[in-house]
Structure 1
Amino acid sequence: MKKLLIALVTLVPALAMAAGGNNVQLEKANVDLTDNASLERGLDIFQHYCSGCHSTQYQRYERVATDLGISIDDMRSKYMFTDAKVGDLMHSAIPSADAAKWFGAVPPDLTLVARVRGQDWLYSYLKGFYADESRPFGVNNTVFPLVGMPHALQDLQGLASVVTDADGKVTIVKDENGQIITTGGSMTAEEYDQAVLDLTNFLVYSGDPVKLEREALGWWVLGFLFFFFIIAYLLKKEYWKDVH
């Protein structure tokens, strides 16, 4: 519990800065927690592109493998890049002291990012990077202005161009189909949209691994309460029939 509170204290102030952004209309993230293939692709992207700096330290490799239907051998060979054991928590590869020195602050744990900011915010943020030479890493973000991190998925998406209106509002340039126009990425706009959706899906799962189980159990609870209500009502009528 203490670690959880520390994570929230660290994460919330950093992400709260985004609330004062350019009032960007968030895109809808249609995640599907029943799609294990999407969740595994999201895990793959997270481990290859995000876990070097960010952790999901309230998850364990073994639990993720079980939930996503991944064999322990595949988890070890495909998604574990440190000397961690399969039962360990999923810490980032970079030491905190080095991260603070290189980035100015320790990159936040992302286990709860989707719960703190919402899946639409996260999805839009991952699509909101654009070239800005005034920033230390050469990029900025429409959803999180003055973001202090590089565009970790730049190799996949490339860099987007923007236009700035007279009020200083930044808008990413899109084509006639609503797709972001980028240069230098290895993926098409459609492929990147799917990759970001998969990553968002995985982080939504990370923030609430038992959501599907809890929701399924909830229907059983409601069914029990409905059945109990009928029994209670019939008992009430039986007990009070002589009174009336």
Structure 2
Amino acid sequence: MKTRGLSLVKKLFATALFAPLLAVASGPELHLDKAPVSSDPAALQNGAKLFVNYCLNCHGASYLRYNRLKEIGLSDQMIKDNLMFTADKIGEPMRIAMQRDEAKAWFGAAPPDLTLIARSRASEFGSGADWLYTYLRSFYRDPGRPTGWNNTVFENVGMPHVLYELQGDQVAKFEEHDDGHGNMTKVVHIEPGKQGKMSKDEYDKATADLVSFLVWMGEPMAGTRKTIGTFVLAFLGVLFVLSYLLKKNYWKDVH
């Protein structure tokens, strides 16, 4: 009895250990396109313009102040004249006027703050930039949804396609595939519909700029941090060589 009891415990332990892995392996694979993230000031400035005009109506960036935008090559006056629509002073955070309880009543859930969205998605999907880039290009018309839109990356998303006028319509074609084990999976193929203000290449470029800004916004000091890291590694390399030469000279009589 004791042996059988230990065997049962081992089986239960193995099931608990590997069940999450099996669940992930059997789930639908999420394909993400590689995001062409750029640190070029022109790309970041265009991304900031898109963010302020299309995202800042519902999504705040309350952990970033407007004056930090000077780090991507903008002057105080340029920020005030072109980007500062939700504040009076340039040192204020990029908040929105909409209250969370009102947003929850209107949309079913309050739109999240986007300051750290690229970093939070990175913790879930490996690359937050790739997820955002694919998501913003994967909306399609769905009359069954309250907003009239759905998304292949985020199924039954509550957010409408705010960049619709730029991209235009996309239409979904559904297919069912057998995975070889008798399980039918739904596959969604997106096809272009009504043309927007931008061509496909132009929209992809605009989306890449927006994603680049979201990535920068999550860690504005990333460029400085990498530069400092490079200098530190170079200094340690030089220090290692000098230390080795000193050691060699100090011990030359012994060896």
TM-score (ref. length: structure 1): 0.83
SS at match of 1:26: coil
* Structure 1 runs (4+) greater than 6 angstroms displaced: none
Q: Choose the corresponding residue for 2:99, options 70, 95, 107.
A: 95
Query: Is 1:141 aligned with 2:151?
Result: yes
| Identical positions, percent | 47
CA displacement 1:194-239 (0-9 Å, x = unmatched): 1111101111111121111111111111110011101211222233
CA displacement 1:128-173 (0-9 Å, x = unmatched): 1001111111111011111111111112112201110023211112
TM-score (ref. length: structure 2): 0.80
| CA spacing shift, 1:45–1:21, aligned 2, 3 Å | farther
| Equivalent residues in 2 for 1:181-200, closer than 5 Å | 181-183=192-194, 185-200=196-211
Are the equivalent residues in 1 in contact too, given 2:38–2:209 (CA < 8 A)? no
Task: Give the structure with higher Rg (CA).
Answer: 2
Are the equivalent residues in 1 in contact too, given 2:149–2:160 (CA < 8 A)? yes
State the Cα distance separating 1:184 from its structure 2 match: 5.2
State the Cα distance separating 1:241 from its structure 2 match: 3.0
| Equivalent residues in 2 for 1:57-136, closer than 5 Å | 57-64=62-69, 66-117=70-121, 118-136=128-146
State the Cα distance separating 1:61 from its structure 2 match: 0.4
Which position in structure 1 is the counterpart of 2:6? none
Which position in structure 2 is the counterpart of 1:28? 34
Are the equivalent residues in 1 in contact too, given 2:86–2:94 (CA < 8 A)? no
State the Cα distance separating 1:192 from its structure 2 match: 1.1
Q: Which runs of 5+ in 1 are unaligned?
A: 1-19, 174-180
**Higher relative contact order, structure no. (Cα contacts within 8 Å, ≥ 6 residues apart):** 1
Q: Choose the corresponding residue for 2:167, options 149, 154, 157.
A: 157
Q: How many residues align?
A: 216
CA displacement 1:114-136 (0-9 Å, x = unmatched): 12221111100000100111111
Query: Is 1:214 aligned with 2:225?
Result: yes
RMSD: 1.7
Which position in structure 1 is the counterpart of 2:186? 168
Which position in structure 1 is the counterpart of 2:236? 225
